[in-house]
Amino acid sequence: MSSSAKPVMACRVCGGAFGAVFCDLGVQPVANSYVPPDRAEAPEPRFPLRCVVCKECRLVQLDTVVDAEGIFSDYAYFSSASASWLDHAARFSREMIGRLGLGPSSFVVEVASNDGYLLRNFVAAGIPCLGVEPAANVAEVARRNGVPTETFFLGEATAKNLVARRGHADLVAANNVFAHVPGINDFTAGLAALAGPRGVVSIEQPHLVRMVDGVQFDTIYHEHYAYWSLLAMEVVLARHGLRVFDVERLPTHGGSVRVLSSAADRGASPALAELRAEEAARGLAGDAFYEGFDARVRDTLSGFRDWLGAARKAGRRIGAYGAAAKGNTFLNAAGVTAADIVAVADRSPAKQGRLLPGSHIPVVTPDALLAMPLDDVLILPWNIADEVAAQLRAGGFRGRILIAVPAMKEIA
């Protein structure tokens, strides 16, 4: 895991000056840097975790960048660990196959393809495809599962190299990766190069408006360099010749948008006009929309600390579910340790047997958590809380099941 970072002095899209701080979560370890037990006493690299707003293009972004190659060359997140996410990927694949008329003569590329969770649907449909995944350990899993995958970071040069070998893609999928790229201009140029004059680029990303409305500060971590509105995304896409022609609102990750663009002029859908108007009405082009978020974060953290203190005073044993990056941001912002939460369950074998970064809470299997005498289970990935709660109840857990964002709430 990387221990290098550098401050950012200007907007990584347009070079504009930074305005006020959007959210400051202190100094934290990298959220997916899970700790082997034999290194529990070693110091963990920690870096500022603070978001600012560009005065020009209004992109919300971190003002300290941790080395991307250190984060993503050996990664602990596997998309296939979530059943609901697999269902979402299957729906996306069916919709794109039908909408774009994809078939045996087409070519689909997914950037940041992870373990092949999405492209397996195109493989099954007989549609030629390729995953581009910089994490070698994750890419190898995809290849073992029959999904053609190459290992490199996408940029303009690597995209042109791929086009020279394979031709332009009819569909370029970049789902939940736009936030993970520090050099966003080079990356977007790569997307445009892959799609060429006629291909479609599909980008899914959590929507900044939903993040603010839901106080979803725990989606801020070092792996997420930027937090996207449609306003800011259209700026960077236009810089590289891509015109947005449609958007779709999605329930995933607490509220996302799917943004479709192309070098070709395909017009603008009513849904696109509607979302542009909504962002304008909410004031995303000015300062007011971004003010006050940090104070709301403090309120959420204070409410959780009050609940945790009362629960511990009452002698309640607390476990957690989901060793997700968002949970690590939350726990470290709240100052939680293994003295507060006895263990966290996760289905990913890559995380089991390790300790959460910062808090050092041990990661166990779901069965091991269910075998513990717990009174409460806190679900950290609140975006899949219903799915997890059903699993816990099916496994026999009879205590309280809660989430903490945007406020403490018992859900089952």
| Coil, helix or strand at residue 275 | helix
Q: Among 130-144, 198-212, 233-247, whose mean pLDDT is lowest?
A: 130-144
Residue 280 Cα distances to 17, 229, 273, 287, 403, angstroms: 21, 11, 11, 12, 32
Residue 11 Cα distances to 29, 53, 60, 224, 226, angstroms: 23, 8, 9, 15, 10
The predicted-structure confidence for 329-367, as pLDDT tens digits, reads as follows 999 999 999 999 999 999 989 899 999 999 999 999 999
- DSSP letter string, 312-358: HHTT--EEEE---HHHHHHHHHHT--TTT---EE-S-TTTTTSB-TT
Q: Is the dihedral of CA 357, 144, 130, 322 positive or negative?
A: negative
Cα–Cα dist 165/107, whole Å: 12
Q: Are 122 and 215 found together in one domain?
A: yes
Q: Are 110 and 178 found together in one domain?
A: yes
Instruction: Quote the pLDDT of residue 187.
Output: 98
Q: Are 129 and 161 in contact (CB under 8 A)?
A: no
**Position 314 pLDDT exceeds 50:** yes
Q: Six-digit token pair at 177?
A: 């990766």
Q: Six-digit token pair at 211?
A: 């993040």
The answer as to whether 18 is a domain residue is no
Cα–Cα dist 20/213, whole Å: 19
**Position 123 pLDDT exceeds 80:** yes
13-36 average pLDDT score: 95
69: confidence class by pLDDT, cuts 50, 70, 90: low
Closest CA to 109 of 170, 153, 158: 170
Cis peptide before 406 (omega within 30 of 0): yes
Percentage of the chain beyond pLDDT 90 is: 88
Instruction: Quote the pLDDT of residue 20.
Output: 86
Residue ending a domain, among 290, 309, 338, is: 290
The answer as to whether 133 is a domain residue is yes
List the domain range (segments joined by +) for residue 374: 293-410
**Angle, CA of 193, 199 and 200, to the nearest 5°:** 105
Instruction: Quote the pLDDT of residue 1.
Output: 43
2: confidence class by pLDDT, cuts 50, 70, 90: very low
Q: Are 200 and 222 found together in one domain?
A: yes
Q: Six-digit token pair at 95?
A: 């919709």
Number of domains in the chain: 2
Provide the residue type at 239 as one letter. R
- For position 309, which CATH number holds? 3.40.50.720
Q: Which residue do the tokens 């070519």 mark?
A: 107
Cα–Cα dist 330/25, whole Å: 9
The predicted-structure confidence for 228-282, as pLDDT tens digits, reads as follows 999 999 999 999 999 999 999 999 888 999 999 999 999 999 999 999 999 999 9
Residue ending a domain, among 290, 315, 348, is: 290
Q: What distance, in Å, lies between the first and last C-alpha atoms of the chain?
A: 37
**Position 76 pLDDT exceeds 60:** no
Q: Where are the beta strands (DSSP E) in 238-396?
A: 243-250, 256-262, 318-321, 344-345, 363-364, 376-379
Average pLDDT, the chain: 94
390-403 average pLDDT score: 97
Closest CA to 215 of 333, 307, 390: 333
Number of other CB atoms surrounding residue 5 within 10 Å: 18
Residue ending a domain, among 290, 312, 329, is: 290
Q: What φ, ψ does residue 71 adopt, rounded to 5°?
A: -75, -45
Q: Are 373 and 245 found together in one domain?
A: no
Instruction: Quote the pLDDT of residue 32.
Output: 87
Q: Are 154 and 286 found together in one domain?
A: yes
- For position 123, which CATH number holds? 3.40.50.150
Q: Are 78 and 114 in contact (CB under 8 A)?
A: yes
Instruction: Quote the pLDDT of residue 285.
Output: 96
78-83 average pLDDT score: 61
Helix axes 270-282, 230-239, angle to 10 degrees: 120
Q: Are 199 and 312 found together in one domain?
A: no
The predicted-structure confidence for 272-312, as pLDDT tens digits, reads as follows 999 999 999 999 999 999 999 999 999 999 999 999 999 99
Instruction: Quote the pLDDT of residue 79.
Output: 54
What are the counts of helices (DSSP H) followed by strands (DSSP E) for the chain?
13, 19
Q: Six-digit token pair at 26?
A: 């202190």
Instruction: Quote the pLDDT of residue 75.
Output: 52
**Position 101 pLDDT exceeds 80:** yes
Q: Are 83 and 207 found together in one domain?
A: yes
Instruction: Quote the pLDDT of residue 3.
Output: 57
Cα–Cα dist 412/398, whole Å: 9
The answer as to whether 215 is a domain residue is yes
Q: Six-digit token pair at 388?
A: 């997890």
The predicted-structure confidence for 159-187, as pLDDT tens digits, reads as follows 999 999 999 999 999 999 999 998 999 99
